[in-house]
C-alpha cells in the first residue's frame, strides 16, 4: 500500500509561515505554493536581498528545481562558455558542466513566481512562541503579531530560530569560524579575456596552493568573471565578518604564483577604482569576508511546529558550492511531505520525518565542505596523485543522488510513522478482540465492543488461538514498521 493511499488527499487546511527572503526562503515558498499549501513569506529587509557573487548548482539541484517548478530553470540564467599550469583533475558535472548565475539576478527571477500579496517586507522577527495545537505566534520588531500553524526558519547563518530550536546555550546555535577568509572580485569579461586569454577566462577553474587557493567562474552569460581568492587564518578577531582590508590581506598570499592567477588578481586589485567607475556596483570593493559555518545540529525541529531550513539548519562554507542546492533539496522534501497531510495536528510528525531524512545528508555537506577548504589549501594530501583521487570523487555523492528516490524514502518513513501510531493505538484483550483509540482495524469501537461481547460467549481453544494469532500478527506488523523507520534512519 502506498503512502498516497494511506494519507489524506484533500487540500491542507493549515497555513505555513516562511521567515527569510533569501534563496532558501524563496524556493521554499515556491515549493509550498506548488503543493497548494497556504503560505506567507516574511523578510526583515525592505526588499529581497541575496549576498554573494556567483552561484553554481550541480546536476541534482537542477533536477530538484525542475521537480519543484520547471519555471525555476528559466530563472537560472547562466553562461556556458565552452581548461595550464599542471592540470591535476577535471571535474565536470554530468549533463550540465559548471553552469552558473549571479545570486542577486537569480533571486530576482525566482521571486516572479511568488504572488506579491503573500510577501511581507520589513518584518524582522523579535520572538516566536510555539503554542502547540494553537500554532506559532510570531512577534515582529515593528509591533506586528502573526500566527501560523507551522513556521519554517530560513533566516540564514545568524538565525534566531536556530537558537529557539537548539537553545541559546548550545555551541551549535552560534556560527563557528572555519579558519578561512576570502576576497572576491568581479571583472568585466573583456578585460579578463585580454589579460588571461579565453582558455582561462571562459572556463570555471581552480588554482591550488599552500594555504591559499583561487577560483574563477564566468557569470552573466560570459559578461563577467568572478574571481575568489581564499586564504587560511587560524582565528578571526574582528567583530564584523566582512571588513576593509589592505593589499597584503587580499593578494599577498598569491605572491609568486604562476600566471595567470599570479598576475590577474593583483592587476584586478590595482584597477578596482577604474572598474567601479565604469561598472558601478558590479565590481567588488576592497573587502575580505570570513567564512563561518555551524557545528552539527542535534535536530532541525523543536518537536512541534517550528523547523529550520537552508543555512539556518546547515550553513556551510562555499568550498563545494552546494549550500544553495541543499536548501532547495530541503524545500522539495518538506513541501512534498506537508502536502501529504490535511490537518495541522500532523505537522509535528512531518517535521520529525523531514529532520530524520534531511539532516544526515545536509550535515555531511557542512563537514565535507570544511574538509574541501583544507584539501584545496594542500593541507590534507601529499602529491598530485593523492590529490587527484580525492578531487575526482569529491562531488559524486552530492551530484548523483536521486531526488525521486529520496522523496520515496521520506514518504515511506512518514507512512510508517502513521502506521506505527495506528498499531500502537490498538489495545489487546484476553478474549482476542481489538479495541482502538482513534482507529480500529475492522470497524468502529462500538463494533469492537460488540465483537468483545460475542467473543465472551465463544468458549474453548478457538478463542485462545484467535487471540494468540491477533497478538502475533500485530507484533509482527509493529516490528516491521519500526524496522522500516530504523532502516531509513540508518540509510540517511
Residue 384, phi then psi, degrees to nearest 5: -65, -35
CA 25/CA 309 separation, integer angstroms: 8
Angle, CA 464 vertex, CA 458 and CA 466 arms, to 5°: 85
- Among 292, 300, 297, 338, smallest CA distance to 319 is for 292
Whether residue 283 contacts residue 126, with contact meaning beta carbons closer than 8 Å, is answered with no
Whether residue 369 contacts residue 316, with contact meaning beta carbons closer than 8 Å, is answered with yes
Q: Spot the catalytic one: 184, 358, 361, 394.
A: 184
By CB neighbour count within 10 A (0-12 exposed, 13-18 middle, 19+ buried), where does 142 fall? exposed
Residue 294, phi then psi, degrees to nearest 5: -115, 145
CA 179/CA 307 separation, integer angstroms: 29
CA 184/CA 442 separation, integer angstroms: 66
Give catalytic status of residue 184 as yes or no: yes
CA 79/CA 104 separation, integer angstroms: 15
Angle, CA 285 vertex, CA 283 and CA 286 arms, to 5°: 140
Which cell numbers in the block locate residue 123?
518584518
Determine how many CB atoms are found less than 10 A away from the CB of residue 459. Answer: 8
CA 126/CA 416 separation, integer angstroms: 37
Please, which residues have CB within 8 angstroms of residue 313's CB and are 6 or more apart in sequence? 153, 162, 297, 300, 307, 330, 358, 359, 362
Q: Which residues are catalytic?
A: 184
Amino acid at each position: 500500500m502506498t503512502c498516497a493511499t494511506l494519507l489524506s488527499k484533500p487540500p491542507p487546511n493549515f497555513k505555513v509561515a516562511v521567515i527569510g527572503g533569501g534563496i532558501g526562503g524563496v524556493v521554499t515558498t515556491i515549493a509550498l505554493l506548488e503543493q497548494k499549501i497556504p503560505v506567507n513569506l516574511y523578510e526583515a529587509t525592505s526588499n529581497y536581498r541575496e549576498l554573494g557573487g556567483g552561484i553554481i548548482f550541480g546536476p541534482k539541484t537542477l533536477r530538484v528545481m525542475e521537480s519543484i517548478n520547471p519555471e525555476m530553470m528559466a530563472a537560472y540564467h547562466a553562461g556556458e562558455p565552452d581548461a595550464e599550469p599542471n592540470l591535476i583533475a577535471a571535474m565536470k558535472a554530468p549533463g550540465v558542466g559548471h553552469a552558473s548565475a549571479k545570486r542577486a539576478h537569480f533571486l530576482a527571477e525566482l521571486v516572479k513566481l511568488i504572488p506579491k500579496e503573500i510577501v511581507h517586507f520589513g518584518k524582522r522577527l523579535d520572538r516566536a512562541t510555539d503554542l502547540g495545537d494553537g500554532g506559532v505566534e510570531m512577534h515582529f520588531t515593528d509591533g506586528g503579531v502573526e500566527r501560523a500553524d507551522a513556521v519554517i526558519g530560513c533566516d540564514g547563518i545568524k538565525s534566531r530560530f536556530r537558537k529557539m530550536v537548539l537553545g541559546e546555550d548550545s555551541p551549535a546555535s552560534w556560527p563557528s569560524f572555519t579558519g578561512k577568509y576570502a576576497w572576491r572580485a568581479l571583472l568585466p569579461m573583456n578585460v579578463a579575456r585580454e589579460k588571461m586569454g579565453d582558455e582561462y577566462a571562459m572556463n570555471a577553474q581552480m588554482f591550488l596552493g599552500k594555504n591559499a587557493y583561487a577560483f574563477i567562474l564566468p557569470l552573466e552569460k560570459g559578461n563577467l568573471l568572478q574571481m575568489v581568492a581564499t586564504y587560511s587564518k587560524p582565528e578571526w578577531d574582528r567583530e564584523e565578518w566582512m571588513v576593509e582590508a589592505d593589499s597584503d590581506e587580499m593578494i599577498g598570499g598569491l605572491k609568486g604564483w604562476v600566471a595567470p592567477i599570479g598576475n590577474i588578481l593583483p592587476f584586478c586589485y590595482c584597477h578596482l577604482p577604474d572598474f567601479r567607475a565604469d561598472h558601478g556596483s558590479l565590481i567588488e570593493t576592497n573587502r575580505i569576508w570570513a567564512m563561518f559555518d555551524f557545528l552539527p545540529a542535534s535536530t532541525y525541529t523543536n518537536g512541534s511546529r517550528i523547523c529550520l531550513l537552508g543555512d539556518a539548519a546547515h550553513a556551510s562554507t562555499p568550498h563545494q558550492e552546494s549550500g544553495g542546492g541543499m536548501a532547495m533539496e530541503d524545500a522539495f522534501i518538506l513541501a512534498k511531505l506537508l502536502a501529504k497531510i490535511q490537518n495541522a495536528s500532523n505537522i509535528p510528525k512531518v517535521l520529525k520525518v523531514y529532520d530524520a531524512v534531511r539532516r544526515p545528508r545536509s550535515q555531511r555537506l557542512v563537514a565535507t565542505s570544511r574538509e574541501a577548504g583544507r584539501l584545496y589549501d594542500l593541507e590534507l594530501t601529499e602529491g598530485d596523485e593523492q590529490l587527484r583521487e580525492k578531487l575526482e570523487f569529491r562531488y559524486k555523492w552530492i551530484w548523483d543522488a536521486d531526488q525521486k528516490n529520496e522523496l520515496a524514502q521520506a514518504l515511506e518513513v512518514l507512512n510508517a510513522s502513521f502506521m506505527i501510531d495506528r498499531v500502537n493505538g490498538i489495545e489487546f484483550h484476553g478474549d482476542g478482540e481489538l479495541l482502538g483509540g482513534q482507529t480500529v482495524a475492522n470497524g468502529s469501537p462500538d463494533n469492537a465492543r460488540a465483537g468483545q461481547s460475542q467473543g465472551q460467549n465463544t468458549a474453548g481453544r478457538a478463542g485462545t488461538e484467535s487471540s494468540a494469532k491477533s497478538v502475533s500478527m500485530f507484533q509482527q506488523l509493529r516490528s516491521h514498521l519500526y524496522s522500516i523507520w530504523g532502516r531509513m534512519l540508518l540509510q540517511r
